[in-house]
């Protein structure tokens, strides 16, 4: 709402049913008129072809009849229908043509025919964006707004007038619109409110002055004094129509959106519990649509100010029990998506949704089922009470509801119900579209690891779906489910590979064939009988297109790395046959594989190493090189490497949200995925790589963005091309709800340390300038660190973050200092208009400061969290001489999970798979890798045990190519 975009959808204001009905009636009338044009319709062609054959020039020529006297209403109405169809069809019209047509159309105001007048309003609104001097028609439109005019004239005239009026002329018609807002006719009041909302983006100051009238329309209070639209003075009762309240709520929120307290009062005043901590006597809303909007505004207040969370949570629970299905569903959806919602609120929401599951209306059942499906990802236990009701919906006549029911049951059900659900899904798959089939496949994919003993049932179901007809997305989802099952349930590996081999024998999708061949090349050599899969792979070399043949050659090359000499010879023979392939890519891959097969070091480096590059960082560097931002050659040495598991997890992040989006699109109810769900969706995939490591792609992208911003500052660009190390996570120096939100990111260069402070001003009434951060070390650091430069932020407007930089020089590059800095934010405050954000011209401002949390500099800040492949071999190669080991008693930790998270943060290293997710509460082992100052390779190993009452005992061993680094890293914990 604070972006300034005048979009009704962004404002949560939508046309209600009554308005849509009027629009459809008018559109139907328009189409009927077009289809009755006898001189255009060809008897040998269909009606659509007749419409598409309208000639642009001929129609414009016919519009000359608008200047004739007397006016012929029917002919003019049909001709306007032709013009509108040309515009809707996308025909271009020059400014001169549009202007001439516009003023010819205005002459039709002389005719009193109501149907013609409605067509004139439509034409004016469409031509106003193309023609010049459209403001000349203002007098005619204002005449139609007079009290004696027809009701349909007045409402449509308001809409047309607000479409063409310029912001500078708005004060001239202000009294018209203010009176229309409180008019007793719902049609006129609604037209004025919606038009005002459209005008708000261009004339905020003027529309804000109408807040009193909008409040009266919303409250349904008595208006004192005479009305411009007629009627004697005294008490004129403002309309209490539901549609008026709905539109008034949207406009009033737009006016008050920058004032948090005003929005809070709006929510509290219309919540039905206004005699609370704010006091006062509020009035309830009669419009259910306005209640829905109020719920959304309440959620925004709760998310923006956590201190009000508990107080407004009770209101949300009351809305869940509202008598209207629409309001109750919206409140339940908001409660389920709200981060930090209490168990009592979730229980109330789930209970309400459970009642809606038995509703006779399919839309209500679908809405409740979709909300429960989203909640089941993060709180499956909370949804379990609805399992009996959801099982009854598996046979629902609405296939969307049935699909959601069965996929949700897969998330919340127990192992005993898996077989029954699989049988029910077998019958369901033939009746649903590919979008829903993909959703079911994804649900099975997430269930495979939850119940590994049921892998045979899962494989049977997925393999049968692959034999059915279906599109690419559905087949891809089923393939990925089988791949994940084979990876994480070893007992199912050979059976899964067999099903995949069967699939590629008759696969029509090249991408899926390549995916399966790649997986066969990874997993096939590890099986007991790899020759079984070699036959299927070589068949692709003989029968498929060039892309698949190339993938098959790469898969064969991986079989050539096994220990069995006889098998390697057989693979070499097959690769030699590929040298005669007609495609050069296939020949090149075969030649490379043959050369690589005879060298053990080469096989280890190019085949067995599962790491890859952070492609987002590589892409950014290539773009910078092509655009001239980066000079010199692009080297892969500076591109971070990540594990294959990290790359796959990064590519699959958001997969569950995409499936929900497919569900919504399939039912013509597009909606955005909830941030609350999006933030936690990835945690449901236990089969994926460690969640902490999986965030690596995002970290590398963020660090590349930091490097680009630092290079753009001349004072910092002199320190180096890019930082050797940047913080993987920003440090919060203030609370999220404070006036100024500050985060710190540390960048380490060869000789310098740069502290980046990202500052956000959250006060709409203030603009702060000359923003800088004063850093005072708690101990004397002059011998190791020397201040160099402070780069302030020139200006901070509300909710527009900016950065302040403080740089220090390391006096001795062989010394890595540790220090703690007391930080103070200093700035100049000036008052401003919350609407425009512009400071007052005569306000010179005053100096102010704001205390921040201390910032620490430690050994972990000099360590680059880099993934190092073959960490075991690297550990052994560095030897015991490079090791430093120490044991710590950490009694303050009450669990291994919290301890390992703190250790990972202090070390600043990359956790390998499983490091941050202990599988036992009593003992855990973890491995971390990194590069000291981007150079020396370092590996850390931890072993932890936990005893209740004694806390965590940890043994930390560090080995590095630089032995001094090992001791430094251990000291980070001490």
Question: Using one digit for the tens of pLDDT, what is the confidence trace for 343-383?
Answer: 888 888 889 998 999 888 888 999 999 899 888 878 888 88
Percent of the chain exceeding pLDDT 70 equals 80
Give the integer Cα–Cα distance in Å for 325 and 850: 48
Q: For residues 693, 695, 698 and 703, what is the CA-based torsion angle, rounded to 10 degrees?
A: -50
User: How far is it, in rounded angstroms, from Cα 737 to Cα 741?
Assistant: 8
- pLDDT tens readout for residues 424-447: 777 777 777 777 777 777 777 777
Q: In the structure, what pLDDT confidence band is assigned to residue 232 with cuts at 50, 70 and 90?
A: very low
Residue 234, pLDDT above cutoff 50: no
| Structure tokens given for 870 | 């073959």
Residue 654 pLDDT class (50, 70, 90 cuts): very low
Q: How far is CA 532 from the centre of its chain?
A: 44
Give residue 646's pLDDT: 58
Residue with more model confidence, 858 or 693? 858
Mean pLDDT of 568-589: 87
Region 100-109: what's the mean pLDDT?
A: 85
Ranges 224-233, 295-304, 305-314, 935-944: which has the least confidence: 224-233
Where on the phi/psi map is residue 806: left (φ > 0), alpha (ψ -120 to 50), or beta? Answer: beta
What is the pLDDT, as a whole number, of residue 668?
35
For 540, counting Cβ atoms within 10 Å of its Cβ (0-12 exposed, 13-18 middle, 19+ buried), the class is buried
pLDDT value at residue 190: 86
pLDDT band at 672 (very low <50, low <70, confident <90, very high): very low
Work out the average pLDDT over 473-478: 85
DSSP 8-class letter at 241? -
Confidence of residue 239 (pLDDT cuts 50, 70, 90): very low
Instruction: Give residue for tokens 């390779």.
Output: 937
Q: How far apart are CA 325 and CA 899, in angstroms?
A: 46
pLDDT, residue 44, reads 46
pLDDT in tens, 159-204: 888 888 887 888 878 888 888 888 888 888 888 888 888 888 888 8
Overall pTM surpassing 0.85 (yes/no): no
Q: Which residues pair with 686 in a beta bridge?
A: none
User: Binning pLDDT at 50, 70 and 90, where does residue 230 land?
Assistant: very low
Residue of higher predicted confidence among 32 and 480: 480
- Note the pLDDT tens digit of each residue in 686-744: 333 333 333 344 566 777 778 878 888 888 888 877 788 787 778 888 887 788 889 89
Identify any residues that bridge with 938 across adjacent strands, giving them in sequence order: 930, 960
| Pair of tokens at residue 30 | 């328009």
> In the predicted model, is pLDDT for residue 480 greater than 60?
yes
Chain segment 816-845, per-residue pLDDT in tens: 888 888 999 999 888 887 767 777 777 778
Rounded Cα–Cα distance for residues 292 and 326 (Å)? 7
pLDDT at residue 14 tops 60: no
- The torsion defined by the Cα of 287, 289, 293 and 294, in degrees rounded to 10, comes to 30
Q: What is the pLDDT of residue 227?
A: 40
Q: Which residues contact 823 (CB under 8 A, 6 or more apart)?
A: 733, 744, 757, 773, 774, 775, 776, 851, 852, 853, 854, 855
Does the pLDDT value for residue 391 go beyond 70? yes
Residue 272: predicted pLDDT: 59
- Give CA–CA dist 192/128, Å, rounded: 19
Give the per-residue pLDDT at 50: 52
Q: For 896-946, how does the pLDDT look when each residue is reduced to its tens digit (9 = 90+)?
A: 888 888 888 888 888 877 777 787 888 888 888 888 877 888 888 888 888
Q: How confident is the model at residue 276 (pLDDT cuts 50, 70, 90)?
A: very low
Widest CA span of the chain, in angstroms? 106
Chain-centroid distance, C-alpha 322: 30
Instruction: Please state, rounded to an integer, the average pLDDT across all residues of the chain.
Output: 77
pLDDT of 265 over the 80 cut: yes
| pLDDT higher at 449 or 145 | 145
Q: Which helix (H) or strand (E) holds 119?
A: helix 114-127
pLDDT score, position 678: 31
**With bands split at pLDDT 50, 70 and 90, how would you rate the model's confidence at 666?**
very low
Among 500-509, 621-630, 879-888, the range scoring the smallest mean pLDDT is: 621-630
Q: Which of 572-586, 594-608, 812-826, 846-860 has the lowest mean pLDDT?
A: 594-608
Distance CA 727, CA 906 (A): 11
Whether residue 376 contacts residue 383, with contact meaning beta carbons closer than 8 Å, is answered with yes
Tell me the pairing of strands 855-857 and 819-831. Answer: antiparallel
- Per-residue pLDDT band for 18 (boundaries 50, 70, 90) equals low
The Cα 471–Cα 399 span in angstroms is 18
Residue of 128, 92, 124 lying closest to 109 (CA atoms): 124
Question: Is the predicted pLDDT of residue 16 greater than 70, yes or no?
Answer: no
């Amino acid at each position: 709402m604070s972006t300034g975009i005048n979009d009704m959808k962004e404002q949560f204001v939508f046309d209600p049913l009554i308005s849509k009905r009027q629009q459809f009636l008018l559109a139907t009338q328009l189409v009927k008129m077009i289809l009755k044009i006898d001189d255009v319709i060809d008897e040998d062609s269909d009606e659509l072809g007749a419409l598409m054959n309208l000639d642009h020039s001929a129609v414009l020529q016919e519009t000359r009849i608008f200047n004739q006297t007397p006016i012929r209403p029917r002919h003019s109405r049909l001709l306007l229908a032709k013009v509108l169809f040309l515009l809707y069809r996308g025909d271009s019209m020059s400014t001169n043509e549009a202007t001439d047509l516009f003023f010819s159309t205005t002459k039709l105001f002389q005719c009193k025919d109501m149907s013609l007048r409605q067509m004139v309003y439509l034409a004016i609104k469409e031509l106003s964006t193309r023609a010049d001097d459209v403001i000349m028609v203002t007098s005619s439109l204002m005449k139609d707004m007079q009290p004696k005019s027809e009701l349909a004239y007045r409402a449509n005239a308001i809409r047309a007038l607000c479409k063409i009026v310029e912001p500078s002329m708005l004060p001239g018609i202000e009294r018209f619109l203010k009176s229309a807002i409180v008019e007793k006719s719902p049609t006129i009041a609604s037209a004025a409110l919606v038009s005002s909302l459209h005008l708000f983006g261009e004339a905020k100051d003027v529309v804000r002055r109408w807040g009193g009238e909008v409040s009266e329309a919303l409250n349904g209070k008595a208006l004192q004094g005479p009305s411009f639209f007629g009627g004697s003075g005294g008490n004129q009762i403002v309309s209490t129509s539901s549609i008026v309240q709905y539109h008034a709520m949207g406009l009033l929120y737009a006016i008050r959106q920058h004032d948090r307290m005003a929005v809070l009062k709006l929510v509290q005043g219309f919540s039905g519990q206004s005699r609370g901590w704010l006091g006062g006597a509020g009035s309830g809303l009669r419009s259910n649509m306005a209640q829905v909007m109020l719920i959304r505004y309440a959620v925004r207040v709760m998310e923006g100010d956590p201190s009000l969370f508990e107080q407004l949570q009770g209101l949300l629970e009351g809305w869940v029990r509202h008598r209207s299905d629409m309001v109750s569903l919206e409140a339940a959806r908001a409660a389920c998506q709200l981060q930090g919602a209490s168990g009592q609120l979730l229980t109330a929401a789930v209970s309400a949704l459970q009642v809606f599951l038995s509703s006779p209306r399919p839309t209500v059942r679908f809405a409740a089922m979709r909300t429960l499906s989203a909640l089941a990802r993060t709180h499956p236990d909370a949804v379990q009470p609805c399992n009996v009701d959801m099982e009854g919906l598996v046979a629902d006549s609405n296939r969307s509801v049935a699909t959601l029911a069965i996929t949700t049951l897969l998330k919340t059900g127990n192992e005993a119900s898996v077989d029954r659900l699989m049988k029910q899904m077998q019958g369901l798959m033939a009746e649903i579209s590919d979008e829903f089939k993909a959703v079911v496949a994804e649900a099975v994919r997430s269930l495979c690891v939850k119940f590994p003993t049921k892998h045979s049932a899962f494989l049977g179901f997925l393999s049968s779906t692959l034999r059915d007809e279906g599109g690419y997305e559905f087949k891809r989802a089923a393939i990925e489910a089988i791949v994940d099952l084979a990876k994480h349930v070893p007992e199912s590996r050979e059976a899964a590979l067999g099903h995949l081999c069967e699939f590629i024998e008759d696969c029509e999708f090249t991408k899926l064939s390549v995916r399966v061949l790649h997986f066969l090349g990874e997993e096939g050599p590890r099986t007991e009988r790899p020759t079984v899969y070699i036959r299927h792979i070589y068949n692709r070399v003989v029968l498929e297109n060039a892309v698949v043949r190339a993938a098959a050659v790469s898969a064969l090359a991986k079989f050539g790395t096994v220990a069995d000499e006889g098998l390697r010879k057989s693979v070499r023979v097959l690769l030699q046959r590929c040298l005669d392939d007609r495609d050069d890519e296939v020949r090149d891959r075969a030649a490379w594989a043959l050369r690589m097969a005879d060298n053990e070091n080469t096989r280890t480096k190019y085949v067995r190493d599962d790491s890859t590059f952070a492609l987002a960082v590589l892409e950014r560097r290539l773009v910078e090189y092509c655009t001239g931002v980066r000079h010199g050659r692009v080297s892969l040495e500076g591109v971070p490497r990540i594990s294959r598991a990290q790359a796959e997890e990064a590519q699959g992040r958001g997969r569950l949200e995409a499936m929900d989006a497919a569900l919504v699109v399939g039912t013509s109810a597009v909606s955005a995925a909830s941030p609350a769900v999006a933030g936690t969706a990835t945690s449901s995939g236990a089969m994926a790589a460690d969640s902490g490591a999986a965030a690596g792609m995002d970290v590398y992208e963020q660090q590349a963005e930091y490097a680009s911003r630092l290079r753009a500052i001349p004072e910092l660009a002199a320190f180096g091309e890019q930082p050797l190390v940047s913080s993987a996570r920003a440090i919060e120096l203030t609370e999220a709800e404070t006036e100024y939100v500050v985060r710190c990111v540390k960048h380490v260069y060869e000789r310098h340390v740069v502290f980046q402070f990202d500052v956000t001003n959250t006060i709409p009434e203030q603009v702060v300038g000359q923003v800088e951060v004063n850093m005072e070390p708690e101990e004397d650091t002059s011998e190791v660190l020397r201040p160099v430069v402070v780069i302030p932020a020139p200006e901070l407007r509300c909710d527009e973050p900016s950065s302040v930089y403080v740089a220090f020089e390391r006096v001795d590059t062989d010394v890595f200092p540790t220090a703690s800095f007391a930080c103070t934010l200093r700035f100049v405050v000036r008052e401003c208009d919350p609407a425009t954000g512009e400071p007052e011209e005569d306000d010179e401002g005053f100096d102010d400061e704001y205390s921040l949390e201390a910032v620490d500099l430690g050994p972990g800040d000099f360590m680059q969290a880099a993934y190092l492949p073959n960490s075991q071999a690297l550990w052994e190669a560095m030897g015991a001489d490079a090791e430093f080991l120490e044991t710590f008693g950490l009694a303050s930790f009450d669990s291994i999970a919290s301890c390992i998270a703190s250790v990972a943060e202090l070390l600043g290293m990359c956790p390998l798979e499983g490091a941050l997710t202990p599988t036992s509460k009593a003992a855990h082992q973890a491995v971390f890798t990194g590069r000291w100052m981007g150079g020396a390779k370092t590996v850390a190993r931890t072993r932890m045990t936990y005893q209740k009452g004694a806390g965590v005992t940890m043994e930390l061993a560090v080995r590095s190519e630089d032995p001094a680094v090992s001791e430094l890293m251990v000291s980070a914990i001490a």
